Amino acid sequence: MNGHNACIVVEDLWFQYTEEIVALRGINLEIPDGAFVAVLGQNGSGKTTLVKHFNGLLKPTRGRVTVYGQDTATLPVGRLARTVGYVFQNPDHQIFCPTTREEIEFGPRNLDLPPEEVERRTEEALEYFGLTKHADDPPALLGFGLRRKITIAAVYAMRPQIFILDEPTTGLDWRSSMDMLRLVQDLHRAGHTILLITHDMKIAAEFSELCLVLRDGEVLLFDDTRSVFRQSDVLRQSQIEPPQILLLAKRMASLGMPDDVLTVREFCDAYVALRRSR
């Protein structure tokens, strides 16, 4: 990833939970500023452990993590929260306020912003995520999809440059997942760096620019999404199957189909082009 301005630099990162459990083993990587990165790997591969180093929730056992040049080991989580927004996997681990509005206000208030700025950011977050009509509802009683949206809106209101989303589509139906991911994509288009932990290869293929694949606490692959999914043999080492549409295209390679399509749209375009050429 050399040649880009890196927002996160990881140098020889090791992390041990206990003497026996080594979660990360000598990770080296640079996350380019403004990138959309899908973090992939099977359960226990170290995805969440790695990203928790980016906002200082975990401190390296060995090695160094810097965010915009600042060593995360020397900064409190609250300070890093201004730059790195972390949306946890389970919204119930975050929600505690009597209304959605107060839930979203919580983060900006912790940043000691003036009341009018807190209000402005809260209203903007409510509108951006389509939550205005639920602003006075108790968030804990809303449906799972809405609770998930609230947690992202709550982090959005803090205006971090980097968003880390830990499996944001788990438990959501396809339409809700797509709605959610389009909002995330809009954040990316607005210049934010996105790190998305996911087990859904279709989502990774469709939305991310880069894929970081972890296996047993080590980086297996870190490259642009198309290159990563082309290496299906390497991916299998991490129990990852490329998206079905790519597998179908590979099977049709003898007919002249390109073997690196990532989305259904790309497949259709390639198929139409193929038919026309014949």
Partner 1 sequence: MAFTSDLYVERESWVHEMDPRVKVIYVACGVCAVLLFHNIFFMMLALLASHLLIFTAGVPRDRVTWVWKQMIPINILIPSLITLFYPQGPVLFQFLFLKFTLLAALRGVALALRLDAIAFIVFLWIFTTDQTKIIRSFVRLGLPFNAGLVLAISLRYIPTFAGLFTTVSEAQQARALDLSRGNFIQRLRQYIPILVAMIISALRTADKLSKALESRALGARGSKRTYFRDIAFRPVDYIYLSGAFLIFAAAVYLRFVLGVGTDLVNPLP
- List the beta bridge partners of residue 221: 213
d(CA 264, CA 26): 37
Minimal distance in Å, beta carbon 258 to partner 1? 41
Residue 234 phi, psi dihedral angles, 5° rounding: -70, -40
* Sign of the Cα pseudo-torsion (181, 56, 31, 199, in order): negative
Is the Cβ of residue 95 or residue 214 nearer to partner 1 in the bound state? Answer: 95
Report how far residue 199's alpha carbon sits from residue 131's, in angstroms, rounded to the nearest whole number.
27
Edge-to-edge, what's the strand order for the sheet holding 70-71? 22-32, 6-16, 62-67, 70-71
Closer Cβ to partner 1, 95 or 210, answer by number: 95
Task: Give whichever of 20 and 233 is closer to partner 1, judged by the CB atom.
Answer: 20
CB of 204 to partner 1, least distance (A): 23
Residues counted in the chain: 278
Least Å distance between CB 55 and partner 1?
A: 6
Query: What is the nearest approach in angstroms of partner 1 to the Cβ of residue 57?
Result: 5
Contacts with partner 1 by CB under 8 A lie at 17-21, 52, 55, 57, 76-79, 81-82, 85-86, 88, 90, 92-96, 106-107, 110-111, 140, 154-155, 158
Q: Which two tokens stand for residue 200?
A: 């859904």
Rounded CA Rg of the chain: 20
Return the C-alpha torsion angle 220, 224, 227, 232, nearest 10: 40
Contact indicator for 207, 38 with CB cutoff of 8 Å: yes
User: What percent of the residues of the chain are helix, what percent strand, and what percent coil, each to the nearest 5?
Assistant: 45, 20, 35
Please state the closest distance from residue 15 (CB atom) to partner 1, in A: 12
Nearer Cβ to partner 1, position 78 or 130?
Answer: 78
Q: Residue 187 Cβ, how far from partner 1 at the closest point, in Å?
A: 17
- The nearer residue to partner 1, 216 or 259, going by C-beta atoms, is 216
Strand pairing report for 218-224 and 84-87: unpaired
Nearer to partner 1, 152 or 220 (CB): 152
CB closer to partner 1 out of 52 and 148: 52
Q: Least distance from C-beta 278 to partner 1, angstroms? A: 55
